[in-house]
């Protein structure tokens, strides 16, 4: 039994996904052969994902060649057909997020003549299963977690047994769709260690601060305890509870987590760790202390962690500093307290947020501030509330994304109800706005996005000049380039 995973991806979005790496490990543990077709470094767009971030002053310029990464010169569709012809898989598995759905369909169309069963999984499948399974190039859709369901499917297929009743799967059979119930959520402590072999060592390269780091991504928990309206996690949490599957937010036990990390560090020789946790400091203090002690003794590599400002305390920051935390990431998202609570389901005051980040600055840990603009019902004035909040902080880098109304989120439903969104449209992260809001058009949002860090860092006496740089005309572009040069020299 041979399985080929297809990884559709935004061009050069370099993070290696844990989901396929984990599924590969589960399949190999059960004796199946697994290979991967990775779309990441094919030239599928005019500008790569990371280059867009460079242009938006979100990251420093870098060179993938420093770690042996290069764009492919061959045709992505021809290469996929060749891969199918040579590997001859019995099953094709494809992971989907909303951003890559169109690319995924185009890839699958090119191989449908091989008549190989296709199973789709990923958060987009769980959020919009009807949309996915209605396309006849998809034979099966996996809702929820796939580790146990995919192994069971391959076992039944390899024995020639009926697989139409496997839990978590929607299966196309005899002209109808069989919709099976969900199984309990996976015990993540019992999963095999992540398998990055299917991606290859060079794909562990990740641009940060002008360098390419060999970075491994470690799943220390799954799910999120928060209720942000722009994120799919709350909907997944409620979905699993309604189906009686158990609690979505789970943390690996420290001994299990450390054993996996020691294995990954020994095997892949990284120089940087990314903890794949939505809120790193959400764990109890005693658990953090235990993990910190083990990490310092056995791993002690620089690492990156994402958390919420309201989870920060003096004691926790002292622990992170001693562990060797090299960088942190905070979702600021919006600077207006009332709007943040009412629209985004994010509570807490600006003072609480600032006080937490002041502790990060006290311990001299660099951090990134994440922001979103273009929310439904947002005005230019509200966006400048976010800019004003960022001006009170001192982040090393500033990210500004345009709101993407992903299916399965609270705000997606709100946008549909208000008529702000076509139900058939698909969102894309970072640069896309699909909303039909009269107060702010797409060009105005894009103009504010590209000048966002300039408004944050430069004195207000220069704001009138920066406003010119919002315009996508000859003068605006010229002013923008002048400011970008100064910004890179002064703040990067």
Q: Return the bridge partners of 397, or none.
A: 368
Q: Is pLDDT of 481 > 90?
A: yes
**Paired tokens of 80:** 């996929």
Per-residue pLDDT band at 10 (split at 50, 70, 90): very high
Residues 239-252: pLDDT tens digits? Answer: 999 999 999 999 99
Helix (H) / strand (E) containing 466: helix 463-468
Q: Return the bridge partners of 207, or none.
A: 212
Whole-number mean pLDDT of the chain?
94
Per-residue pLDDT band at 432 (split at 50, 70, 90): low
Tokens 């499948």 locate to: 125
pLDDT at 433: 63
Asked if residue 205 lies in contact with residue 67, where contact means CB atoms within 8 angstroms, the answer is yes
pLDDT at 64: 82
Alpha-carbon gap, residue 196 to 269, rounded angstroms: 12
Tokens 């629209």 locate to: 343
Tell me the pairing of strands 169-173 and 176-179. Answer: antiparallel
Domains 2-179 and 219-457 share a fold: no
**Paired tokens of 377:** 């019902």
Q: Select from 3.80.30.20, 3.40.30.10, 3.30.365.10, 1.10.579.10 the CATH code of 219-457.
A: 3.80.30.20
Alpha-carbon gap, residue 459 to 456, rounded angstroms: 8
**Paired tokens of 173:** 């059979």
pLDDT at 14: 82
Q: Is pLDDT of 431 > 60?
A: no
Alpha-carbon gap, residue 270 to 66, rounded angstroms: 15
374: helix, strand or coil: coil
Q: What is the mean pLDDT of residues 234-240?
A: 94
Helix (H) / strand (E) containing 36: strand 33-38
DSSP result, 211-245 = EEEEEEEE--EES-S---TTSSHHHHHHHHHHTT-
Alpha-carbon gap, residue 286 to 254, rounded angstroms: 11
Residues 352-391: pLDDT tens digits? Answer: 999 999 999 999 999 999 999 999 999 999 999 999 999 9
**Paired tokens of 252:** 């690996």
Residues 144-190: pLDDT tens digits? Answer: 999 999 999 999 999 999 999 999 999 999 999 999 999 999 999 99
Tell me the pairing of strands 211-218 and 205-208. Answer: antiparallel
pLDDT at 90: 98
5: helix, strand or coil: strand
Tokens 């169109």 locate to: 102
Q: Is pLDDT of 434 > 70?
A: no
Q: Residues 6 or more apart from 276 whose CB is under 8 A from it?
A: 18, 217, 218, 219, 220
- The residue among 17, 40, 56, 49 whose CA lies nearest residue 447 is 56
Residue ranges covered by each domain of the chain: 2-179, 219-457
Alpha-carbon gap, residue 357 to 296, rounded angstroms: 24
330: helix, strand or coil: strand
Helix (H) / strand (E) containing 341: helix 337-344
Q: Residues 6 or more apart from 212 whose CB is under 8 A from it?
A: 62, 63, 64, 66, 67, 69, 205, 206
Alpha-carbon gap, residue 71 to 64, rounded angstroms: 9
Q: Select from 3.60.20.10, 3.30.2290.10, 3.40.50.280, 3.20.20.10 the CATH code of 2-179.
A: 3.40.50.280
Q: Is pLDDT of 303 > 80?
A: yes
% of the chain residues with pLDDT over 70: 98
Residues 51-103: pLDDT tens digits? Answer: 999 999 999 998 888 877 789 999 999 999 999 999 999 999 999 999 999 99
Separation in Å, CA 333 to CA 110, 120, 147:
40, 31, 33
Helices (H) and strands (E) in the chain, counts: 18, 16
Alpha-carbon gap, residue 168 to 61, rounded angstroms: 43
**Paired tokens of 61:** 């310029």
Separation in Å, CA 234 to CA 140, 240, 421, 429:
25, 10, 21, 19
pLDDT at 67: 76
pLDDT at 66: 81
Phi, psi of 273 (to 5 degrees): -115, 135
DSSP at 111: T
**Paired tokens of 311:** 């989870």
């Amino acid at each position: 039994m041979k399985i080929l995973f297809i990884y559709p991806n935004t061009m050069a979005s370099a993070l290696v996904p844990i989901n396929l790496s984990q599924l590969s490990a589960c399949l190999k543990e059960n004796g199946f052969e697994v290979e991967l077709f990775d779309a990441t470094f094919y030239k599928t767009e005019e500008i790569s994902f990371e280059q867009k971030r460079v242009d938006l002053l979100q990251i420093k310029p870098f060179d993938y060649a420093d770690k042996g990464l290069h764009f492919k010169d061959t045709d992505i569709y021809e290469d996929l057909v060749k891969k199918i012809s040579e590997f001859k898989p019995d099953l094709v598995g494809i992971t989907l997020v909303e951003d890559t759905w169109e690319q995924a369909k185009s890839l699958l169309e090119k191989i449908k003549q091989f008549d190989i069963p296709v199973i789709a999984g990923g958060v987009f499948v769980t959020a919009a299963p009807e949309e996915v399974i209605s396309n006849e190039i998809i034979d099966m859709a996996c809702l929820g977690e796939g580790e146990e369901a995919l192994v069971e499917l391959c076992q039944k297929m390899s024995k020639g047994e009926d697989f139409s009743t496997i839990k978590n799967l929607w299966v196309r059979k005899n002209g109808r769709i069989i919709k099976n119930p969900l199984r309990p959520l996976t015990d993540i402590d019992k999963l095999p260690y992540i398998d990055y072999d299917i991606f290859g060592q060079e794909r562990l390269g990740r641009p940060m601060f002008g360098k390419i780091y060999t970075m491994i991504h470690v799943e220390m928990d799954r799910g999120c305890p928060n209720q942000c309206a722009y994120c799919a996690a709350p909907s997944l949490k409620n979905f699993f509870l309604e189906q009686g599957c158990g609690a979505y937010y789970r943390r690996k036990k420290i001994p299990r987590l450390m054993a996996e990390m020691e294995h990954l560090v020994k095997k892949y020789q990284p120089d940087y760790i990314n903890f794949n946790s939505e809120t790193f400091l959400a764990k109890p203090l005693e658990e953090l202390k235990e993990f910190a002690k083990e990490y310092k003794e056995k791993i002690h590599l620089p690492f990156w962690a994402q958390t919420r400002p309201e989870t920060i305390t003096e004691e926790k920051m002292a622990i992170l500093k001693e562990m060797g935390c090299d960088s942190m990431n905070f979702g600021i998202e919006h600077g207006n307290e009332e709007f943040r609570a009412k629209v985004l389901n994010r509570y807490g005051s600006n003072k609480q947020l600032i006080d937490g980040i002041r502790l990060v600055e006290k311990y001299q840990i660099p951090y990134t501030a994440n922001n979103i603009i273009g929310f439904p019902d947002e005005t230019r004035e509200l966006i400048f509330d976010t800019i004003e909040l960022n001006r009170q902080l001192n982040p090393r880098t500033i990210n500004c994304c345009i709101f993407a109304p992903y299916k399965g989120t609270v705000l997606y439903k709100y946008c549909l109800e208000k008529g702000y969104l076509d139900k058939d449209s698909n969102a894309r992260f970072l640069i896309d706005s699909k909303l039909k809001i009269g107060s702010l058009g797409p060009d105005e949002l894009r103009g504010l996005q590209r000048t966002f860090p300039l408004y944050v860092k430069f004195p207000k006496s220069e704001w009138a000049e920066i406003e010119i740089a919002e315009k996508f005309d000859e003068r605006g572009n010229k002013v923008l380039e002048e400011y970008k040069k100064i910004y890179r020299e002064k703040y990067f």
